[in-house]
Amino acid sequence: MTSTEIRQAFLDFFKSKGHEIVPSAPIVVKNDPTLMFTNAGMNQFKDYFLGNRQSPYPRVADTQKCLRVSGKHNDLEEVGVDTYHHTMFEMLGNWSFGDPALPTAGYFKKEAIAWSWELLTEVLKIPKDRLYVSVFEGDEKDGLPFDEEAADEWKKWIAEDRILKGNKKDNFWEMGDTGPCGPCTEIHVDCRPDEERRQADGKTLVNADHPQVIEIWNNVFMQFNRLKDGSLQPLPAKHVDTGMGFERLVRVLQNKTSNYDTDVFTGTIAAVEKITHKKYDGSDSKQAIAFRVLADHIRAVAFTIADGQLPSSNGAGYVIRRILRRAVRYYYSYLNYQQPLLNQLVPVIAEQFKDVFPELEQQQAFVRKVIKEEEESFLRTLEKGLKRMDELISGKTAGTLAGKDAFELYDTYGFPIDLTRLIASENNMTIDEPGFEAAMQEQKNRSRSATTVDTEDWQQVHAEAPVTFVGYNDLNVSTRVIKYRKV
Ligand code: ATP
Ligand code: MG
Ligand code: MG
Ligand code: MG
């Protein structure tokens, strides 16, 4: 099956079970102070869970564009290094809103579990002996019991030794530090070759134990609202909230050992090969990681800009700029490509997703222009910044980079701190992060008083004589201060 057919099969299945298919919400979240970007399919339905609004439909399903690069769910460091965490990914989901006014249309654990099993094993034909599930073991601190009901439902479908207990970290899903949450049951697929699985017989592996054993689907049973003081408040009704990683599902169904070998990514990787005259070999080499990072990051950057968030020097915009600069450094250093590259990939993904997320194709020219300008701007300072970084770490094989040096890289060369951290870690070094924060704060204080002085100067200068522009004090577009000289 192609990825397009797989997405459609998911939506068709839940449509046949009475779900309304709804569009993805934008990646950028504008009306929720607890969240910058959509990190799960449920975000757009938060108010239904909290009982603030009533859903027009008791059951819905969709594919949601998600971004996990900040806050509680942040996978940035994994991306490209492993083959199944992305910055931006599609989360396929189905929901039941347990609105008390719609008692007959809602469903809970029994149906959610039965339907996930039916879809995976009967419609999509994943071999049953490759599947494992985990259920919530309970948590003393929160006063929550073992989820026996979910375990009992699973026993109808899967051998008992394939039902594992999971702790709060993995099996109690929370949107953020506060907000809707509840126990969950996850489905994992063991994609190791038959021979390897036979040899390891008896040992059950789950996500993160082995690169070929991955979690694909999470069924959350929304029952609580986590309050700021850490306590759990029961929600007015119980809901089902599921999320399945689309790219991971495609990988399983297309029998690949990496998400990047599926047709979700091969078009972009081929485009990078053509542009750079390098080959992607799927290994753990820096060059292979660079290919994966580019194929991943361009999606995050392009879709987020298409959803209205421009790169900038603070807030959500700075998150996008950081992802973009991280990608630039990867092609610059590891694909030996020194021209703006990312923007050239926009047409490839715009075309690929035009029927699913048409907003990118519709704004293609604009998105490409924004990305190109961002790339050009960073490429102007990157080489000098990398040289400076080399000087700072030369001769060292371990240790800590001083906060003031990390700040210099940030301030003068536009290196986001996570990029400096990444380069430092490639040299077994860490950064004095509090030192960096202190330097940053100092600069903020300085520029605050500088602004006041500048205003006064400006008035005086005007009164006395004309001025000429003599340049920027540094090359970083985001922090530069314009200097004038009296003539
Ligand atoms: P993992 O343990 O692999 O980090 P998770 O438990 O954090 O995943 P959930 O919050 O349960 O993920 O999200 C539901 C589903 O979304 C997961 O089962 C997985 O298939 C998918 N998913 C989660 N994070 C990512 C990611 N960064 N990239 C791609 N798919 C993801
Ligand atoms: Mg995770
Ligand atoms: Mg997990
Ligand atoms: Mg999970």
Angle at 151 between CA 148 and CA 154, to 5 degrees: 150
Q: How close is the Cα of 218 to the center of ligand 3, in Å?
A: 8
Look at the chain and count its residues.
Answer: 487
The pLDDT value given to residue 51: 87
Provide the percentage of residues in the chain whose pLDDT is more than 90: 76
- Which ligand ends up closest to the CA of 93? 1
The closest residue, in CA terms, to atom 14 on ligand 1 is 243
pLDDT tens-digit map of 40-52: 999 999 999 988 8
pLDDT tens-digit map of 20-43: 999 999 999 988 888 899 999 999
Q: Which of 102-106, 197-201, 311-315, 446-450 has the highest mean pLDDT?
A: 311-315
CA distance 38 to 35: 7
Pocket test for ligand 1, best of 70, 86, 89 (most atoms within 8 A of CB): 89
Check pocket membership of 91 for ligand 1, CB cut-off 6 A.
yes
Q: Is the pLDDT of residue 465 over 50?
A: no
Check pocket membership of 248 for ligand 1, CB cut-off 6 A.
yes
Contact 92, 7 (CB under 8 A): yes
CA 37 to chain CA centroid, nearest Å: 9
Q: How large is the average pLDDT for residues 149-159?
A: 97
The pLDDT value given to residue 461: 32
pLDDT tens-digit map of 309-319: 999 999 999 99
Pocket test for ligand 1, best of 35, 83, 85 (most atoms within 8 A of CB): 85
Query: Which stretches does DSSP call E strand in 318-380?
Result: none
Confidence of residue 72 (pLDDT cuts 50, 70, 90): confident
Q: Which of 100-114, 445-459, 467-481 has the highest mean pLDDT?
A: 100-114
The pLDDT value given to residue 205: 64
Structure ipTM? 0.99
pTM: 0.89
Residue 86 CA, closest ligand 1 atom number? 28
Closest CA to 299 of 336, 355, 341, 353: 353
196-205, 257-266, 287-296, 441-450: the lowest-pLDDT one: 196-205
157-171, 318-332, 391-405: the lowest-pLDDT one: 391-405
Check pocket membership of 93 for ligand 1, CB cut-off 6 A.
no
Closest CA to 252 of 312, 313, 192, 169: 192
Closest CA to 251 of 267, 269, 264: 264
Check pocket membership of 85 for ligand 1, CB cut-off 6 A.
yes
Whole-number Cα distances in Å, 293 to 76, 81, 272, 287, 321 = 10, 8, 11, 10, 15
pLDDT tens-digit map of 309-359: 999 999 999 999 999 999 999 999 999 999 999 999 999 999 999 999 999
pLDDT tens-digit map of 239-254: 999 999 999 999 999 9
For residue 248, the SS3 value is helix
Q: Is the pLDDT of residue 474 over 70?
A: no
CA distance 476 to 436: 17
